[in-house]
């Protein structure tokens, strides 16, 4: 179904049919956590760890000074050899999980999208940041989400902000599924979640229901003394940006978003799935939001070495993804959006594809950035994520040797791909 008329309806902005998605339970690839053990005669392990963090773009965690000398870090695959070759390094030990000696029913999966943007196992987990999910609600009893849900509002049908569709729950899991040794883990696993139900169980709603949700978010924005600093909107309708926050074309949703952005909330929104210029889709066309296109990725790692996906070659832009023209390129960023595993309604998990699945990777990364840089304006967050992102047709951080981290055969996607490891 095409997008509804602006004055009448608004619908899910990014989920595609699940045909061709990877099978449930597919294992993640490319987890690159190590303990770096230094030579015993090294005098200052912390100094070497800091040097390596700068030189090799490592995410350094603990530093060891007594039983061993060294540090723990997440290391990009292309940098492992360089770290190992340092004369002060004795060896590297893979930092695999260990458990107490009791049977554990399940293990936790790092979804491919979280892995692709290198958000896994960061010391910064988004603690203190809070994200509103304007969608079909959130499964408030889901074991991966229950501890992170701070509250919500129902602006749609039904008695509560619980999710009867699954779309909002999937979005929420990518943002902040807890690091709890089961299910999946999100980009910012300690960020708070607000369930703002603006779409019904069929995944549709109206401008009024969406404005109701935005109004609720603004009431809890920093300027109003609240704690919500990020909002995700994986939905879309027909419309355009008048360049005046809706005052020229009478767009209430645009005005509401502009006010909420002014009050300190960063919005991540889906670009849409029609393989067309996003200038005809709202809220994607609004200059005040971060609009998110979808990357196709089959391995959870960069460099395009994996097999093709249903929607394009590994590490290229998904064939369904809308794209930005010159008027919208400045506020568009890409994120993984094909066969993304996340939480679903009734305590389950599923794979979904669409720019709806790409947007929450940006929302989660924005939460990470704000946890580390509280008080940054939405424009500052957007600029930072773009500046730290992965450009096309280059080997980002030299992680691919002579190849490129991602490419754009279509020529339609100049935007960077978000990377959490650079935060």
Annotated active-site residue 342? The verdict is no
Angle at 397 between CA 393 and CA 400, to 5 degrees: 60
Verify whether residue 135 is a known catalytic residue. yes
Whether the upstream peptide bond of residue 101 has omega within 30° of 0, thus cis, is no
Q: Which two tokens stand for residue 173?
A: 């899991």
Tokens representing 423 are 């935060």
Catalytic residue among 52, 59, 112, 135: 135
Is 167 an annotated catalytic residue?
A: yes
E strand or H helix that includes residue 74: strand 70-74
From CA 59, how far away is CA 389, in angstroms rounded? Answer: 16
The candidate with the shortest Cα–Cα distance to 331, out of 290, 377, 388, is 290
**Are 190 and 148 contacting, i.e. CB atoms less than 8 angstroms apart?**
yes
Would you give the distance in Å from CA 2 to the centre of its chain?
25
Of 52, 142, 167, 331, which is the active-site residue?
A: 167
Q: Which of 321, 339, 353, 356 is catalytic?
A: 356
Q: What value, to the nearest 5°, has the Cα angle with vertex 94 and ends 50 and 314?
A: 90
Three-state DSSP at 149 gives strand
Q: Which residues of 162-173 are buried (b: 16+ CB within 10 A; e: fewer)?
A: bbbbbbbbbbbb
Q: How many CB atoms are closer than 10 A to CB 225?
A: 8
CB 174 within 8 A of CB 111: yes
Phi first, then psi: give them for residue 355, nearest 5 degrees. Answer: -65, -20
Residues recognised as catalytic: 135, 167, 356
């Amino acid at each position: 179904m095409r997008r509804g008329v602006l004055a009448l309806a608004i619908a899910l902005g990014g989920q595609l049919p699940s045909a061709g998605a990877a099978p449930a339970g597919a294992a993640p690839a490319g987890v690159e956590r190590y303990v770096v053990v230094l030579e015993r005669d090294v005098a200052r392990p912390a100094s070497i760890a800091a040097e390596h963090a700068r030189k090799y773009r490592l995410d350094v965690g603990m530093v060891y000074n007594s039983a061993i000398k060294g540090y723990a870090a997440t290391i990009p695959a292309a940098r492992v050899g360089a770290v190992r070759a340092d004369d002060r390094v004795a060896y590297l030990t893979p930092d695999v999980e260990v458990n107490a000696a009791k049977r554990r029913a399940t293990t936790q999966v790092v979804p491919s999208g979280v892995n692709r943007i290198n958000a896994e196992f960061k010391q910064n987990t988004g603690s203190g940041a809070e994200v509103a999910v304007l969608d079909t609600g959130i499964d408030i009893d889901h074991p991966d989400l229950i501890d992170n849900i701070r509250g919500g509002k129902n602006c749609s049908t039904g008695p509560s902000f619980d999710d009867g569709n699954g779309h909002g729950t999937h979005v929420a899991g990518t943002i902040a599924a807890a690091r709890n040794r089961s299910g999946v883990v999100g980009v910012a696993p300690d960020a708070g979640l607000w369930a703002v139900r603006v779409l019904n169980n069929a995944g549709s709603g109206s401008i009024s229901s969406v404005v109701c949700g935005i109004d609720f978010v603004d009431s809890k924005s920093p300027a109003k003394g609240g704690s919500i600093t990020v909002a995700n909107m994986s939905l879309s309708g027909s419309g355009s940006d008048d360049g005046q926050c809706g005052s020229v074309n009478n767009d209430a949703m645009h005005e509401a978003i502009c006010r909420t952005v002014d009050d300190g909330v960063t919005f991540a929104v889906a670009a849409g799935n029609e393989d067309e210029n996003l200038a005809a889709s709202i809220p994607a066309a609004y200059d005040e939001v971060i609009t998110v296109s979808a990357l196709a990725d089959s391995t959870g790692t960069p460099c395009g070495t994996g097999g093709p996906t249903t929607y394009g070659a590994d590490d290229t832009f998904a064939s369904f993804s809308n794209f930005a023209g010159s008027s919208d390129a400045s506020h568009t960023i890409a994120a993984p959006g094909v066969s993304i595993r996340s939480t679903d309604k009734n305590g389950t998990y599923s794979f979904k594809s669409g720019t709806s699945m790409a947007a929450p990777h940006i929302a989660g990364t924005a939460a990470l950035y704000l946890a580390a840089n509280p008080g940054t304006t939405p424009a500052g967050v957007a600029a930072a994520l773009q500046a730290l992102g992965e450009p096309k047709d280059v080997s980002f951080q030299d992680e691919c040797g002579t190849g490129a981290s991602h490419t754009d055969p279509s020529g339609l996607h100049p935007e960077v791909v978000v990377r959490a490891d650079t935060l």
